[in-house]
Structure 1
Amino acid sequence: MPYGKREGLQLLKLEKKQVKLVTVAIALFFVLGIVGLALSQSHLSYAAGASSQSNIGVINEQMVISQHPDIAKVQETMNSEIDQAKKDFDAKTASMNDQEKQQYYSQTSQRLSLKQQELMAPILDKVRSAIQEVAAAKGLTVVLDKSNVVYGGQDITDEVLKKIGASK
């Protein structure tokens, strides 16, 4: 039966590799998720067209979000959540089959995604509020993300950064 033992060890090694791969995938998914959430939130439906003397503003919303004073705390909290999720995943999936592991991975991913949204919501609200206040003070009726503008518009990025208390 030494041949059977060898196959069993190879299968065990394969499962350990799968667990490590899933663990790395979870970490990568959520680190990229923070960036992805911020990017997806920056593309709001705005009217197009601009000139430098118009009532249209432009902003680098991604930069503003990334420089928000609370973003480091969100990232730290998410990193802790991810680390705990990895530990939980490793502990709870040790005796699970592949299908059960996949289901647990999906549940964990969904839970972490909701946590990320929960943590980012106040920051996004503060940034949007600051954008509205700066736009109103400057008489702007439309503000577009800079990535959607080829030419023109009044850049209000620096004013919004000052408003949220970000250090440049």
Structure 2
Amino acid sequence: MIKTATKQLKNVFLATLMLLGTISLTQPGIIHAAASSSIGIVNYQLLVQQHPDMAQAEATYQAAVKQAQDDFNAKSANMNDQDKKALYQQLQQGLQQKRMELLGAINDKVDAAIKEVADAKGLTIVIDKSQVVYGGQDITDDVMKKITGK
């Protein structure tokens, strides 16, 4: 009984090897494509933080925070706690929207620069450096040069 099971296991193993060999011979492009694909990596957070527009975006956001604080102080003086809470939440939502708007414009510019560099280098995939354990071509410096013009 053990000999029969061992013989069946050998047959399955041999059949699998033959199938894989046949696939690799008839579909060489699949294996070649996987081996030749190029992956780029970037430190996305660094690119956003050091983008030339970031200082202006941060200043604009801080001005919006100050305005929201002033609005809250002025409007909430005679409000009950529930109305104060509602006003606070409304102002917080406005600030979140403003932040997304400001960062969205910068993210779009960073994404465009990454795409340009990746296309120029023939890279098919670019992922964030924090997600990479090993390998990939780091293009962060090239993208930074594209963004800053230096």
In structure 1, give the amino acid aligned to 2:142. Answer: E
> Equivalent residue of 2:126, what SS?
strand
2:65 is equivalent to residue 75 of structure 1: no
Segments of 5+ residues of structure 2 without an aligned counterpart are 1-35
2:134 is equivalent to residue 139 of structure 1: no
How far apart, in 2, do the equivalents of 1:166 and 1:88 lie?
40
The structure with the greater share of residues assigned to helix is 2
Query: What does residue range 26-41 of structure 1 map to in structure 2 within 5 Å?
Result: none
How far apart, in 2, do the equivalents of 1:152 and 1:104 lie?
50
Structure of larger gyration radius: 2
What's the CA shift for 1:54? 5.2
1:96 aligns with 79
In structure 1, give the amino acid aligned to 2:136. Answer: G
* 1:103-143 Cα deviation digits (max 9, x unpaired): 10110011111111111222111100000010011111000
Find 1:85's aligned residue among 58, 68, 71: 68
Query: What does residue range 6-155 of structure 1 map to in structure 2 within 5 Å?
Result: 55-155=38-138
Tell me, yes or no, if the aligned pair for 1:57 and 1:156 is still in contact at 8 Å.
yes
Please, what is the CA RMSD of the aligned residues? 1.4
> Equivalent residue of 1:121, what SS?
helix
Tell me the matched-pair count: 115
Segments of 5+ residues of structure 1 without an aligned counterpart are 1-52
How far apart, in 1, do the equivalents of 2:105 and 2:75 lie?
32
How far apart, in 1, do the equivalents of 2:90 and 2:101 lie?
17
**In the superposition, relative to structure 1, how do residues 166 and 90 fare at CA in structure 2: closer, same or farther (>3 Å)?**
farther
For normalisation by structure 1, the TM-score amounts to 0.66
Off by >4 Å, runs of 4+ in structure 1? none
